[in-house]
Amino acid sequence: MAYRRITPKGIADSWRAQSWAIRVLRAWLAITWIYAGWDKATDPGFLTKGETGFIGDQLIGYSTNSPISWLFNSLIEHATAVGMFVIFSEFAIGIATLLWIAPTSAAFGGFLMSIVLWLASTFYISPYFLGSDTAYAVLWLVYFLTLVGNRRTVDIALDRRGAIRVGLLSVAAIASGLVGKAFAKVSEKPNTTVSGTSQIIELSKINVGETHQFALSNGMPAIIFRTKTGVFAYSATCTHEGCTVAYQSSNKSLYCPCHGAEFDPFKNGGVITGPTRDALPTVKVAISGDWVVLA
């Protein structure tokens, strides 16, 4: 697949000068990275401690399951800053790729980000092709190599015009993150109690068909289901890397926002969709008088 060396005068020229194969690759990568930034920016829990999907919970998972766990361990206390950096980086790389701003640096940035994500969350997924980060790392690497072409060195020096465009890109990335925050989805944070004793919640406060999240005495999240036949509960800590799962009434599953694992609460917490293969542990609960209690 030949790549024509170009000196694009504008965005349109940059697209015109590329082959269809590279255009498709470039568009896919750019849109995916912008969407990833938008998805995080509009997630009400991503930057908020205690919410489902909080970046800090993901870092805790990475710090115990990644081959570079030491790195993620040191980032946990800066979780919110890390989350903001991820959002702005994804917007910046996506917009730069789309609009041909420092394209070689953007492609290399996309490659590096995919490698870090792979080491963070999908390194142990087996077979390897079920993890998307390796595929994205390869796609970015291919795109980067087509841009570099046969050059022996990669010139990333910027002239004045280039510096202005990169400055505008930074502003656009930050503005996109702020706009995303303005469009944040409504948090569906459940009513949560801490169970220091065996009493969890009054029976009258959880109707048949409802769920209730609570914290076990060790601080770990759990979730109760009340059905016509009684109550049952599971640990809400994902068996993949420890993020908190939440109940989705639309498809009647417990969903992990970190890497998309799904569990069936009506089949012993079994796995519907990986990457994990382990069911959610059950938490023994019972009805005692007017209360749901730990059994």
Q: What would the DSSP string read from start to end of 203-249? A: GGGS-TT-EEEEE-TTS-EEEEEEETTEEEEEE-B-TTT-PBPEEET
Q: For ligand FES, give the closer residue by CB, 185 or 277.
A: 277
Give, to the nearest 10 degrees, the angle between helix 20-41 and helix 79-99: 150
Per CB under 6 A, the segment of 92-100, 140-148, 236-244, 283-291 that binds ligand FES is: 236-244
The Cα 245–Cα 62 span in angstroms is 16
Q: For ligand FES, give the closer residue by CB, 45 or 177.
A: 45
The Cα 130–Cα 121 span in angstroms is 12
Per CB under 6 A, the segment of 21-29, 32-40, 145-153, 235-243 that binds ligand FES is: 235-243
Residue 223: CB minimum distance to ligand FES, A: 14
Per CB under 6 A, the segment of 5-13, 72-80, 187-195, 239-247 that binds ligand FES is: 239-247
Residue 123: CB minimum distance to ligand FES, A: 12
The DSSP element (H or E) to which 263 belongs, if any, is strand 262-264
Q: For ligand FES, give the closer residue by CB, 97 or 276.
A: 276
The reply to whether 61 sits near ligand FES by the rule CB under 6 A is yes
Among 275, 285, 293, 294, binds ligand FES (CB under 6 A): 275
Residue 239: how many other CB atoms lie within 10 Å: 19
Q: For ligand FES, give the closer residue by CB, 47 or 125.
A: 125
The DSSP element (H or E) to which 90 belongs, if any, is helix 79-99
Looking at residues 242 to 261 of the shown chain, list those that interact with ligand FES (rule: CB under 6 A): 242-243, 256, 258-261
Among 26, 212, 226, 240, binds ligand FES (CB under 6 A): 240
First to last CA, the chain: 65
Closest by Cα among 9, 24, 40, 8 to 177 = 40
Which parts of this chain interact with ligand FES (CB under 6 A)?
Answer: 61, 238, 240-243, 256, 258-261, 275-276
